[in-house]
Structure formats: C-alpha cells, structure tokens
C-alpha cells in the first residue's frame, strides 16, 4: 500500500515527502509521535517521473513479498489511500493522461496492477476496492459506478477483486458492474455475519466473504462459526494502538 496524501513528514523516513495525484490537502489531523495530532500537509502532485517511481515501488514491494515467502499480495486500492486517490475526482484533478475522465483516473491503478502481475504473476495479485468510501476526506460524488466500470476490465486476470461493502443505495449496482467487468473471483467484506455472508454467496454476489473485525476479536472465528457459537465483540478503543492488547489477548471459547 501507499498512503499518498494521508501522511505527515514526522511519520516518514528522512527526506521522504507526501505525494498524491494532485496537491489537495486532506482535511483533518494525523497522529505523530513527535507532536501528537497534526494537520495533514499539502501533498506534492506526482510528476511523470514520480508516477514511474511509484509504480516501481509497488512492483518492488510485490517482489519482496514473494522473496519473503508470501503466497500472494493484495494491492490496497481502498480507504482513501493513494490508489483510491487516483480514482476519486476530489483528489485527482490532473489534466494529463491520468485525470479528467473515469478512464484516465483508472489508468494509474490499472498500470500498478498490470506491472505487479507481470513481475510476480497475475495469479499472485489481488486488489482491494471501496466504492462509496468517504474515509480520509473523500466526499461523495455521482460518478462512482462509471468510475469502477472503467476500472474493472483492466483488472482481468488478477487473482481476485476484494470489495468493501457499503450501505449506499448505489452499491449493489456498482458491485455488479465490478463483478461483470472483472469476470474473476470477487471477495466481499464489511459488516457480514455468518448468515448474511451465506446469503451473499448463494445470491451470486460474491465467491468469498472475508471477515476483519470479527477475526481480530475471535481467534477461533472459524470454529465459532462452524458451531454457531456467539462471537466476541471487538474492542474498538484498542484499534491502531501499539502493543499486544486488543490484538492477541482475546480468549478462545
């Protein structure tokens, strides 16, 4: 993953800078160890050379993962980070081949996916998307379905597309467009129970359903679901905090 504009110099290596599709500062604050909460800085718009370097960074990370023994990698194209910043008209105001239309906004994401697939094999590359996401200062807009319709065909051949479910009334149609355009395995995620996941699978809306927060809170999640046992609730106050508490101290049944 690459956070793009959701960064601060205090949280970056020396000499690194916050970059994004366009020089649009995110509203809000980010935690830094040195000074606590600080406003997001205005990012530097990626140049043509910066685009090339960033693609290569994704590729290098994919190769490093293979060298480390991983089975596959998942590109983070969701939650308001760099790849989604290219997809969103609020954060992507470029006037070159990477902005201005849904097809152009999809170009960088498609290139990163294709370059990663060429480096380690498409069967080892998945991607996560979050249509209708407003996290990290992405305001709602009316072209979500068109944007993902432009992106989905360029992802053909990848291992899977991992889609974050959203209660927005347009999500079902957008998810269908992604599924039809991609043509490969779809994973849905977000707010599912065992029963609602089964409904989604039987309805053909997904090939797999993934669980995040329930898995954090239930080290024996699979066993509990197999037995129909009650699930423990996650401790939200411990999310994104240092140390083991809230990560490895949830008890099994």
DSSP assignment letter at 180: H
Q: Is 238 exposed, middle or buried (0-12, 13-18, 19+ CB in 10 A)?
A: middle
* Tokens representing residue 96 in the block: 């070159």
247 has catalytic annotation:
no
Catalytic residue among 40, 81, 132, 148: 81
Cβ contacts of 154 within 8 Å, gap of 6 or more: 106, 109, 110, 113, 114
DSSP assignment letter at 122: G
Euclidean distance between CA atoms 176 and 205, whole angstroms: 8
Determine contact, residues 18/81, Cβ cutoff 8 Å: no
Which sequence positions are flagged as catalytic?
81
């Amino acid at each position: 993953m690459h956070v793009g504009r959701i960064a601060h110099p205090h949280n970056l290596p020396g000499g690194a800078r916050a970059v994004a599709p366009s020089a649009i500062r995110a509203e809000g604050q980010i935690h830094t160890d040195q000074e606590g909460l600080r406003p997001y800085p205005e990012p530097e718009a990626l140049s043509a050379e910066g685009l090339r370097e960033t693609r290569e960074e994704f590729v290098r990370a994919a190769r490093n993962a293979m060298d480390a023994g991983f089975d596959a990698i998942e590109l983070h194209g969701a939650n308001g980070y760099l790849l989604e910043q290219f997809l969103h008209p609020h954060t992507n105001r470029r006037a070159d081949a990477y902005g201005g239309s849904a097809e152009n906004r999809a170009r960088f994401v498609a290139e990163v996916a294709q370059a990663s697939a060429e480096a380690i094999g498409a069967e080892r590359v998945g991607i996560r998307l979050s249509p209708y996401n407003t996290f990290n200062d992405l305001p709602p807009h009316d072209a979500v379905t068109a944007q993902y319709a432009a992106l989905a065909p360029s992802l053909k051949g990848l291992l899977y597309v991992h889609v974050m479910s959203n209660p927005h009334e347009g999500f079902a149609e957008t998810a269908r467009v992604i599924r039809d355009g991609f043509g490969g395995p779809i994973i849905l995620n977000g707010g599912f129970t065992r029963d609602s996941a089964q409904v989604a699978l039987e309805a053909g809306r997904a090939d797999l359903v993934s669980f995040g927060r329930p898995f954090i809170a239930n080290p024996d999640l699979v066993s509990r679901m197999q037995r129909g046992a009650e699930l423990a609730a996650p401790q939200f106050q411990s999310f994104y905090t240092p140390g083991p508490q809230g990560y490895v101290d949830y008890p099994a049944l």
